[in-house]
Amino acid sequence: MKNLQITNLGQIKEADISFGDLTLFVGPQATGKSILLQLMKLLLDSDDIAQTIKKNGFDWGADPANFIEFYFGEGMRRLWSEKTKIYVDNKSFRLSDVLEKGSRTKEKLFFVPAQRVLTLENGWPRPFTSFEVGDPYVVRNFSEHLRILMQQGLGSKGSAIFPQVGRFKKELRDALDNSIFHGAQVELNTSGMRKRIQINMNGEYLPFMTWSAGQREFMPLLLGLYWLMPTSGASKKPEIDWVAIEELEMGLHPQAILSVFLVCLELLHRGYRLLISTHSPVLLEAAWAIRSLQEENPDTKYLCQLFGLKLSPSINKMFGDILKNKKILTYYFDHQEKGVSVRDISSLDPVNVDSDIADWGGLTSFSSRVSDVISQAIQERV
């Protein structure tokens, strides 16, 4: 998929999106970012989705509205109307194409939802069928992936879940440890015949609900990243081409956000294409810096300085690939009176006359206003 065009899908009035290797979506709440990401999953994995729903004992009764509500979530049955038009690489996509197919293909897009903390119940992933009917498909499907990952033995035989050699580069593990876990280990603990993910802090086991909010938010994301990085020697899951992550920054300190973004760069280096929705100016700053270095001076030492890493052969190889081969694009979901229009603001030029570009879709507008107001106050006092 290279291009997606949308007309009248929920609050999205119009969108024309060409995808990069990393495509960022920014904009206020309730402007359709999640809807677009879920639509991407539906477009790429419609056969797998339909069959997974049926396999788990659910039936939409040949009613498209029932399918839409089950997939997108409760209250979304009117999302898709007669006026909705979807074009993938200039080819029309019809909802009936999903409902009429019976074959099963392997999924191509791995989705990490914003509600990911709900997937761990008392420190263990919930199965697909444990969720309410009105919960979005992407939440229950993500949780099922994590459950299977844990059942396959992650963290068993005395090995820590984090840090774990072989999943990430040492530099990335250290960055995550320094910004999120601070020397504690995440381990699999069995108590009363029940397995639970817990933090081992100097011999004291902390249950999931006593973790910090950032640690709880990050843990399911970490497991999802593990699922994408096999230890078999393969660089990626062979069937997965796309990874969608909603609000990567959820609950995290800016330094932790940068650490997680480093892992996203590793995903890019491994050959995945990423879609990330965000409200974090930190991610936009990183994207702008990488694009600027690509244009001005693609020396990997500057990315090392940016992320506070020492230059090693493995980091040099990853950053070299990012700077030379990976395209980063940013789209702004602009809420207007008649609906949401999706705009390309990829340059992120801070001196652009277009305020949406200069203020990164509103993420830096308050900082700019603060500077202006304080400068004016100082000048008037003088």
Q: State pLDDT tens for residues 249-280.
A: 999 999 999 999 999 999 999 999 999 999 99
The string over 16-32, giving b where at least 16 C-beta atoms fall within 10 Å of a residue's C-beta and e elsewhere, is ebebbbbbbbbbeeebb
Q: Is the pLDDT of residue 215 over 60?
A: yes
Cα–Cα distance for residue pair 25/274, rounded to 1 Å: 11
Total count of domains within the chain: 2
| Alpha-helix residue ranges (DSSP H) falling in 131-280 | 137-151, 170-176, 213-228, 254-270
Cα–Cα distance for residue pair 262/349, rounded to 1 Å: 23
Within a domain: residue 95? yes
Mean pLDDT score, 363-380: 78
Within a domain: residue 149? no
The amino acid at residue 274 is L
CA-CA-CA-CA torsion sign (173, 175, 176, 178): positive
Cα–Cα distance for residue pair 382/380, rounded to 1 Å: 5
Within a domain: residue 135? yes
Report the mean per-residue pLDDT for the chain: 92
Q: Is the pLDDT of residue 301 over 90?
A: yes
Predicted local confidence at residue 101, as pLDDT: 58
Within a domain: residue 191? no
Mean pLDDT score, 87-95: 92
Residue 2 exposure: Cα atoms within 13 Å on the Cβ side:
3
Is residue 361 domain-shared with residue 249, that is, in the same domain? no
Contacts of 54 (CB under 8 A, 6+ apart): none
Is residue 256 domain-shared with residue 123, that is, in the same domain? yes
Give whole-number Cα distances, 260 to 210, 219, 248, 301, in Å.
Answer: 22, 12, 8, 20
The better pLDDT of the pair 122, 290 is held by 290
Structure tokens at 338: 């008649």
Q: State pLDDT tens for residues 39-90.
A: 999 999 998 998 899 899 998 888 889 999 999 999 999 999 999 999 999 9
Within a domain: residue 367? yes
If pLDDT is split at 50, 70 and 90, which confidence band does 295 have?
Answer: very high
Cα–Cα distance for residue pair 123/210, rounded to 1 Å: 11
Q: Is the pLDDT of residue 124 over 70?
A: yes
The domain in which residue 380 lies consists of: 350-382
Is residue 357 domain-shared with residue 272, that is, in the same domain? no
Predicted local confidence at residue 63, as pLDDT: 87
Is residue 117 domain-shared with residue 8, that is, in the same domain? yes
Within a domain: residue 181? no
Is residue 319 domain-shared with residue 360, that is, in the same domain? no
Is residue 249 domain-shared with residue 371, that is, in the same domain? no
Residues 330 and 33: beta-carbon distance below 8 Å: no
Q: What is the DSSP string of 288-321?
A: HHHHHHHHH---HHHHHHHHT----HHHHHHHHH
- Of 147-156, 210-219, 316-325, which gets the smallest average pLDDT? 147-156
Q: Is the pLDDT of residue 192 over 80?
A: no
Residues 49 and 19: beta-carbon distance below 8 Å: no
Q: Is the pLDDT of residue 94 over 60?
A: yes
Mean pLDDT score, 233-259: 94
The better pLDDT of the pair 331, 378 is held by 331
Is residue 322 domain-shared with residue 360, that is, in the same domain? no
Whole-structure pTM value: 0.94
Predicted local confidence at residue 365, as pLDDT: 77
Predicted local confidence at residue 28, as pLDDT: 94
Q: What are phi and psi of 250, to 5 degrees?
A: -50, 115
If pLDDT is split at 50, 70 and 90, which confidence band does 156 have?
Answer: confident
Within a domain: residue 305? yes
Q: Give the three-class secondary structure for 223.
A: helix
Residue 353: is it exposed, middle or buried by C-beta count within 10 angstroms (0-12/13-18/19+)?
Answer: exposed
Predicted local confidence at residue 310, as pLDDT: 92
Is residue 121 domain-shared with residue 248, that is, in the same domain? yes
Within a domain: residue 226? no
If pLDDT is split at 50, 70 and 90, which confidence band does 103 have?
Answer: low
Number of other CB atoms surrounding residue 1 within 10 Å? 16
Number of other CB atoms surrounding residue 211 within 10 Å? 20
Residues 150 and 226: beta-carbon distance below 8 Å: no
Is residue 357 domain-shared with residue 344, that is, in the same domain? no
Residues 47 and 40: beta-carbon distance below 8 Å: no
Is residue 124 domain-shared with residue 256, that is, in the same domain? yes
Q: Is the pLDDT of residue 102 over 60?
A: no
Predicted local confidence at residue 158, as pLDDT: 75
Mean pLDDT score, 183-194: 86
Is residue 358 domain-shared with residue 380, that is, in the same domain? yes
Predicted local confidence at residue 375, as pLDDT: 77
Q: State pLDDT tens for residues 5-28.
A: 999 999 999 999 999 999 999 999
DSSP run (H or E) holding 279 = none
Is residue 50 domain-shared with residue 76, that is, in the same domain? yes
Predicted local confidence at residue 100, as pLDDT: 64
Q: Is the pLDDT of residue 382 over 70?
A: no
